A = this chain, B = another copy of it.
């Protein structure tokens, strides 16, 4: 039997297992703060076993980051599924992310900020991936605003870049602050503001 039940080579299974184990560790302790020894003990594999699948700690960290982002992206996609209106989808994305404060998708905070904060001035490759992830998130929000405008849900004079900057900044800031203050109320208040703000730019009479 050369393949597993899923039709994968054995190595692919191991590789994924490493990734799934390493992702939360990197996210909690950071790149420098995560030792290969920690990953050895977390995965149960030995150093050689890990290095058979990843050329370096660096390559593993990048793959783990991408794995984390894929999880977040999937969660966003799932949150938007079944919601027809673009503005509704925007609200769904915000609420999906907001849930992180109480029940994190990946422990240790948002991988994008974590990575950006540590990798700035330090690790260009990780920084580039982090930047790409943020860019893609902001593009998603921008596209939803544009669609909402096309659908007549949002006023035409609203700058989609302003919305995406506000949403990402305030949510990322709120995650950091909620975590550091052990107070998810911080996130709740920020989300409440964002939802109010969405009402205020909506064409619906009942909003501000």
Contacts and interface: CB of A to CB of B under 8 A. Distances in A.
A120 interface: yes
A110 to B, nearest CB: 9
A143 interface: no
A114 interface: yes
B176 A189 contact: no
Interface string A148-189: 000000000001011001101111111011011100011001
Interface of A: 28-30, 32-33, 108-109, 113-114, 116-118, 120-122, 127, 130-131, 134-135, 159, 161-162, 165-166, 168-174, 176-177, 179-181, 185-186, 189-190, 192-193, 197, 200, 208
12 contacts: A113-B117, A113-B176, A116-B176, A117-B118, A120-B179, A165-B174, A166-B189, A169-B174, A170-B173, A172-B176, A173-B173, A176-B176
